[in-house]
Amino acid sequence: MKLHRPADARGQVRTDWLDSRHTFSFGHFHDPDWMGFGALRVINEDRVAPGAGFPTHGHANMEILSYVLDGALAHKDDSGGAGILQAGEVQWMGAGHGIEHSEFNASADAPVHFLQIWIQPDRVNLPPGHAQRAFDGQDRRGRWVTLVSPDGRDGSLAIRQQATLQGTWLAAGDRVEARLLADRRYWLQVARGAVDVDGQRLQAGDGLGWVDEATSLVLEGVDTDAADILLFTLPR
């Protein structure tokens, strides 16, 4: 089964400092048909005004990833984790048995544009944790790079779930393949740009999901500016 989640079907929250698009139900946006996708619970695309952000709030038993597309994002939590994420960096925060944290635009002049991703863990009530890593986009040009995995392989960030997140950049003339197995589920998210997936044109914010599929996909870049593509492999 293949699922399509167009960018313009996502939920939206707009305030004087935040423009947020929700792929799945979140906060005041509730869509019973899109409560998540297996262990993948949240993909929020956030644009935060200069100097603004999310004040201290709590989470528990959730693996939270932040991926900065443009700008800089400041983070601080009560486990001792703190820092600034620049464009291309991914942060993992394991909420574990409970964590308090805040996220703010690190710039007083420019907005920050990032994805916040929540994945349900396979182990609960563990100690909170935090890590971040920079991934050079050009290293992903025309090939898959593992950003997140259960064991931190190939320099990826380790999370508490049998799930991986891979990324690729595809400009016109670039082509990659992805093999899907029937005993896993998959979600593809276009973070930026446009791409053809088996001939289907996708734009920034679009998502595709596969369940009970055993097939191979061909992804091709279509523009001079490279598209930024994320592929989640998740438990069935």
How does 164-177 read in b/e, with b if 16+ C-beta sit within 10 Å?
bbbbbbbbeebebe
Same domain, 116 and 22: yes
**CB 214 within 8 Å of CB 7:** no
Domain housing 83: 10-134
What pLDDT does 206 receive? 98
What pLDDT does 48 receive? 98
Q: Which of 134, 152, 187 is the last residue of a domain?
A: 134
- Per-residue pLDDT of the chain (236 residues), as tens digits, is 999 999 999 999 999 999 999 999 999 999 999 999 999 999 999 999 999 999 999 999 999 999 999 999 999 988 888 899 999 999 999 999 999 999 999 999 999 999 999 999 999 999 999 999 999 888 999 999 999 999 999 999 999 999 999 999 999 999 999 999 999 999 999 999 999 999 999 999 999 999 999 999 999 999 999 999 999 999 99
**How many domains is the chain partitioned into structurally?**
2
Judge whether 167 lies within some domain.
Answer: yes
Whole-Å CA distances, 19 to 103, 115, 148: 15, 12, 26
**Single-letter code of the amino acid located at 64:** I
Residue 49 CB partners (closer than 8 Å, separation 6+): 16, 17, 18, 105, 111
